[in-house]
Amino acid sequence: MRERLQHIRQIYYSDQTKLECWPDFTHYHNPTLSPFFENKCIYDILESKPHLNDNEWFGVLSPAFGTKARGALGRSVTPYKLDTRLHECEGANLDVLGFFRTAQNLNNIKQGDNWHLRGQTPNFSDIFAMIIDKAGIQYNINTRLRKNQNGRPCNFMSNFVIARYSLWIHYFRDVLKPCMDVMETDEEIKSLIWQSAKYQKDGRRKQILLKHLGVPYHPLHTFICERMWSMFVNKNRHLTFEHY
């Protein structure tokens, strides 16, 4: 097992999805289905306070990491190649790495207005702004995305982020936990986020979603939370990052 990868978690839901997991990651079984999807796993793992050094590489990755990171790392995505990239990042003093390809110049929080609730009021980014405001986070969702030295914007998806463990703790404490608490307890927000996200995979998962969530569609919870790393990195302007 490669030491740089051993503290990174990769989620699996079934025997089939476990086959997708890389042997160098620590596998995390999630047999239940939450409307927050992988973000609930991130919450639970960080709330348990794993005993890691601040500079350890950490992440809670989708079982589809190897497939979806192929566009970011090249066709031959391997643990060796990722380990090499992390070694290079240590030499460059990078803090955060993203492995999900997004539009170069598009704010992915605002991009949600086109992907979810298109044409509705309040729209996706309005709801995102309401949640962070109720959570006590000061951030303008229209803030221009800063770019790194290679011209890449800080667009991230939480289940495709690898970062220093100390930053994950900071992210959990200051962003994810207060926002998820609002999403679970605030009646106004609950009424908004239980709408259909109009996700393209709704049809094939209809029966599973109805069984576990009580609705035949993906609600907005996970699509909001997965974009919070973009806000976190853009807000904390001292952080250095690369996006593959």
Whether 225 contacts 156, CB under 8 Å: no
What the block records as the tokens of 210 is 């109805």
| Segment 171-182, tens digit of pLDDT | 999 999 999 999
- pLDDT of res. 70: 63
What the block records as the tokens of 129 is 């702004």
- pLDDT of res. 105: 59
- pLDDT of res. 217: 93
- pLDDT of res. 31: 87
| Segment 38-82, tens digit of pLDDT | 999 999 999 999 889 999 999 999 998 887 776 555 556 688 888
Angstrom distance (rounded) from CA 197 to CA 202: 9
Q: Which stretch of DSSP H or E encloses residue 38? A: helix 38-47
- pLDDT of res. 69: 74
What are the residue ranges in the chain where pLDDT is below 70? 1, 70-77, 101-105, 202
Q: Burial, 14: exposed, middle or buried (Cβ in 10 Å; 0-12, 13-18, 19+)?
A: exposed
Question: Domain boundaries in the chain?
Answer: 9-243
Going by C-alpha positions, the residue among 103, 14, 12, 2 that lies closest to residue 65 is: 12
- pLDDT of res. 99: 83
- pLDDT of res. 1: 58
What the block records as the tokens of 41 is 């796993």
